């Protein structure tokens, strides 16, 4: 089924049932890997807000949840490669285990910028969990990327937090651009 978001057409690629199932698997894996610890889950806004919520609901360990906000797309369908740093983490991460949660890793520039910025605050560790990963789009590899929900082609997607011109974030599934 075709849907319109702003001036573009999209079709369903990953239904919510699959997102839900995979998110539960990731939450279980992270809970096992961090057993006996209480990591900080830092969502990167805006796109990660639904994924963070579903992820932490399924965690079996105590976690702290916080957010930072960065932007790099500015209304288009490809990365501008310029990063706007809208707001910073408010929790002191020194000596803490930090898990950054992204909606999608595309060129890798956003994560590279963020990991570099946070490393100097001396957290005990940094890993990254992303719902979606476009391996063919990567320009800067990020070794902290440990948890990946789905690998997808180098296509523009919306839904489940991801937007096109600030629309489409509330769609309960991932939709890929067609046409």
> Strand, coil or helix: what is 27?
helix
Partners of residue 104 on adjacent β-strands: 132
Residue found under tokens 């096109």: 164
Give the nearest distance from C-beta 12 to ligand IMP in angstroms: 15
Residue closer to ligand IMP, measured from CB, 13 or 30: 13
Vertex 100, ends 145 and 167: CA angle to 5°?
100
Residue closer to ligand IMP, measured from CB, 22 or 69: 69
- Give CA 126 to chain center in angstroms: 14
Give the nearest distance from C-beta 24 to ligand IMP in angstroms: 22
Binding site residues, ligand IMP, CB under 6 A: 47, 72-73, 79, 102-110, 156-158, 162
Give the nearest distance from C-beta 158 to ligand IMP in angstroms: 6
> Strand, coil or helix: what is 3?
strand
- Per the CB < 8 A criterion, the answer to whether 102 and 111 are in contact is yes
- Confirm whether 54 is a catalytic residue: no
Of these residues, 85, 106, 116, 163, which one is catalytic? 106
Residue closer to ligand IMP, measured from CB, 14 or 105: 105
State the catalytic residues: 106
């Amino acid at each position: 089924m075709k849907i319109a978001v702003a001036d573009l057409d999209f079709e369903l690629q990953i239904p919510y049932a699959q997102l839900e199932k995979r998110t539960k698997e990731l939450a279980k894996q992270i809970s096992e890997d961090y057993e006996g610890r209480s990591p900080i889950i830092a969502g990167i806004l805006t796109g990660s807000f639904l994924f963070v919520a579903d992820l932490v609901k399924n965690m079996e360990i105590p976690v702290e949840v916080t957010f930072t906000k960065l932007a790099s797309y500015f209304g288009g369908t490809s990365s501008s490669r310029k990063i706007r740093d809208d707001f910073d983490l408010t929790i002191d991460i020194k000596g803490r285990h930090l898990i950054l949660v992204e909606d999608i890793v595309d060129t890798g520039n956003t994560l590279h910028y963020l990991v570099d910025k946070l490393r100097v605050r001396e957290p005990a560790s940094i890993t990254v969990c992303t719902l979606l990963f476009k391996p063919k789009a990567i320009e800067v590899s990020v070794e902290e990327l440990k948890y990946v929900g789905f690998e997808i082609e180098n296509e523009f997607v919306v839904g489940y937090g991801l937007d096109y011109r600030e629309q489409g974030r509330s769609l309960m599934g991932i939709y890929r651009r067609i046409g």
